[in-house]
Structure 1
Amino acid sequence: MNLNLSNARILISRVDAIGDVMLTLPLCGMIKKYYPDATIIFLGRKYTEPVLKRCSSIDQILIYDEWTDDNTAVQRLRQLQIDVIIHVLPNRRIAMLARKAAIPIRIGTSRRWFHWLYANKHVYVKRKNTKLHEAQLNMMLLKAIAIREIPALEDLHQYTSFSTTRTIPHAISSLIEKDKQILIIHPKSAGSAREWPLSSYDELIRLFPKDRYQIVICGTKQEKSTLGGWLTTLPDYVYDMMGKLSLDEYIEFISSANIFVAASTGPLHIAAACGIRAIGIYPPVVPMHPARWQPLGSCSGFITASKTNCHLCSKKSDYCRCMSEISAYQVYQKIMDN
């Protein structure tokens, strides 16, 4: 199988959440480093399209939500004349469609049984108990196309290739006070992470002098519905923008802010990629620990509990003892630590 990879058409398949997609972008950047003339096509969900279109390493976007019919999907894949598909997120249906479309090189982890049916290049990638970051684990799949470089953790952000216009959306521009720093707090995670208590966010907010910081609470409409009356207990100088911005608008607002604080969630990774001060709050337990999921950015950071018995906390509970032991002042100090 002697393909000229320097001009290859390479399909990256990752059809899950925003944070996972953000941590796949460095893989795209690494491919462009070795094969700058290759065409990178990204298969993702419709709701992650605002993220994908801001990555300069991606040449074309395919929307998986539109693949309602297998035959039509196979025909589309054939029309695109794809040379290589990399199954970053193992997906049995997509793997089957890629084989039916006769894509010459089909790369997947050897740890999924269906890849032995549908993929023809297998890479051993073990994610359980790993010491590698998620973005580094994704890059291991590139061994199948002769890319063996795995950047150091501190260098990963250089491969994200994420850019915005840094334009404050009209929906919030009239509220912004230009003489203040913008601090965005994203208190929920749509169930994707252990969350810091709302009471701790309240304490953190009150540590910032209101004459120097403009504090904005952000998140989705669905996340807002889980907060109960918490927003009404906050100081009147705190702005509530939950559910009021599209993802396109939210990305631009994040890039225009100075500080972003959240648990391990997609918008945290967006903030890190935008180069602002992005601080993530993490539990110490595998596999949710920051060694694997910390934000990648020149100004990003994280804070985690020192306890190691977080595995005793129920995954189904809204309360995590280890997360609650992280004080508001610790997070404040981390934000101010330059």
Structure 2
Amino acid sequence: MRYVLLRLLAMIVKPFVRRSAVYPPRKVLLIKPDHLGDLLLATPALTALRTALPATHITALVGPWAATMWQHLAEIDELETLPFPGFDRFGPKPMILAPYLLLLRTAYRLRQQSYDAALILRDDHWWGAALALLAGIPQRIGFAHPLCTSFLTTALPYHSRQHVTRQALDIVAALTGTPAVSTPLRYTPTHVAQEWAIAWLQQQLKPDERLIIIHPGTGGPTKHWLRSHWITLIHGLNRPGRRILLTGSPNEAEELAAIIAAAPPGVLALSQELTIDRLAALFSQASLVIGVDSGPLHIAVSQGVPTIHLFGPSDPMRFGPWGDPQRQRVVSAGLPCSPCGVFAVCPRATNPPECMAAIDPAWVLSCVESLLVSQPTKGVYSFHPTRQR
């Protein structure tokens, strides 16, 4: 029924888009409703877009929950926020008609801004594709997802397991007409955050200790690893010359405390004092970062740190680390039902989710030792904010 209604809406509105596309476009709108990690995974595409269109005015429309990820990027001229329906993890459930009223109001506002092109940077985001059409934007580029195709002028082939960073690069290439060159993920912590991280580590670590950071939290309940597994891993990691730090959001402080209570003496934890900026600065000083599929793990990748990502219900081919696979490792149990893509409750009603419970701490520990051995003199904390790895 939704598919039929969306097709009907597209047929009604298309005749009112009378402007023809121009190249190079004077104004481009990026529509990206997702969360922090997803926006970070799109930064190579932003770099490619700005390189190809240096004089184009680029506006990004993002959720307020993720704006911090793009707010300092030089590639973007203007950053606007919009509470995209269905993406607010903590807000109240909207009234039935609220998403459609918001769609019409936002489309009317955007229509006044005369954009030449819109890039829909999420392959199944029919709401964003409909917004671009209702806003009268003549060139609308996205993927040929069944719910989106009728709203687009250019619908790229849709592959459900294509990496989201590659998807974003392909969309940019479709607009510019030239292949988009991939670059690393990019997030630069502020100088203030870097100074804070250095000062904190100077107080907590001995010189030449290796810092290993564990970030156990994530937004999807089925993506969590077992607390007992984290505790087992920490005991295995705990050796002279290493300092283990647990990080998380303020909402995750209780879980971090529970892990710390069963961990060896000397394990550290940070949550209340952390911001995204400070977290990135801490990651930049680590020898290794370990966690589940989450935005913070992608932030660690952006800092050039070796990482280990524990995957269960999510698809590493689609959301895995965008970096050197020798330094950015994925560990999963490889169950036949994985990846299922369901992050709220296990579809098979296993509790805890079997795909995460089946990841053996011994596997992760082996991966840790392999990564640390491969860089025997790198990543040792030396109280210098600009050290190289």
TM-score, normalised by the number of residues in structure 2: 0.71
Match runs of 1:48-127 below 5 Å: 48-65=66-83, 73-74=106-107, 76-78=109-111, 80-89=113-122, 90-113=124-147, 115-116=149-150, 118-127=151-160
Percent of residue pairs bearing the same amino acid type: 20
Q: Distance in 2 between matches of 1:137 and 1:96?
A: 19
Give distance in 2, aligned partners of 1:222 and 1:212. 30
Taking a change above 3 Å as real, the CA distance of residues 252 and 65 of structure 1, as seen in their structure-2 partners, is farther
Contact 1:34/1:147, CA 8 A, preserved across alignment: no
Describe the superposition over 1:108-132 as per-residue Cα deviations: whole angstroms up to 9, x where unpaired.
323243551x4333223131xx3x3
Secondary structure at 1:12's aligned position in 2? Answer: strand
Show the counterpart of 1:142: 172
Deviation at 1:233, TM superposition (A): 1.4
Aligned length: 325
CA distance in 2 between partners of 1:71 and 1:311 (Å) = 36
1:201-258 deviation digits (Å, cap 9, x = unpaired)? 2122223345422211111233344568333212231112134312232233223333
- Measure how far apart 1:150 and its partner are: 6.5
Tell me if structure 1 keeps the 8 A contact 2:222–2:353.
no
Residues 32/175 of structure 1: CA separation in 2 closer, same or farther (3 Å cut): same
- The residue number in structure 2 matching 1:326 is 359
AA partner of residue 285 (structure 2): S
The answer on 1:296 being equivalent to 2:296 is no
1:27 lines up with 2:45 in the alignment: yes
RMSD: 3.3
Q: Deviations over 1:56-100 (max 9, x none)?
A: 433331111399966763465345442211112244444344334
Separation in structure 2 between the aligned mates of residue 72 and residue 268 of structure 1, nearest angstrom: 36
**Match in the other structure for 2:346:** 314
C-alpha deviation, 1:13, in angstroms: 1.0
| Aligned match for 1:244, one of 260, 273, 280 | 273
Deviations 1:157-205 (A, max 9, x none): x253432346053694564325222221111212165332222221222
Of 258, 262, 268, the match for 2:287: 258
Flag the structure with larger Rg. Answer: 2
Question: 1:195 touches 1:318 (CA, 8 Å); kept in 2?
Answer: no
Q: TM-score, normalised by structure 1?
A: 0.81
State the distance in 2 between where 1:79 and 1:252 align: 40
Change (3 A) 1:229 1:52: same
- Take 1:69 and 1:330, find their aligned partners in 2: how far apart are those partners? 48
In structure 2, how many angstroms separate the alpha carbons of the residues matched to 1:18 and 1:76?
Answer: 25
CA distance in 2, matches of 1:73, 1:198: 43
**d(CA) in 1 for partners of 2:236 and 2:129?**
50
Cross-structure match for 2:381:
none
* Map of 1:160 onto structure 2: 185
- Structure 1 residues 212 and 58, CA gap change in structure 2 (3 angstroms): farther
Partner SS for 1:137: helix
What are the ranges of 5 or more consecutive residues in structure 1 without an aligned counterpart?
none
The answer for unaligned runs of 5 or more in structure 2 is 1-19, 86-100, 375-389
- 1:121-270 counterparts in 2 under 5 A? 121-127=154-160, 130=161, 132-142=162-172, 144-147=174-177, 149=179, 156=182, 158-165=183-190, 167-169=194-196, 172-173=200-201, 175-177=203-205, 179=207, 180-191=209-220, 194-225=223-254, 229-270=258-299
Say whether the 8 Å CA contact 2:184–2:302 is kept in structure 1: no
Structure 1 pair 147–314 and aligned structure 2 pair: CA distance change class (3 A) = same
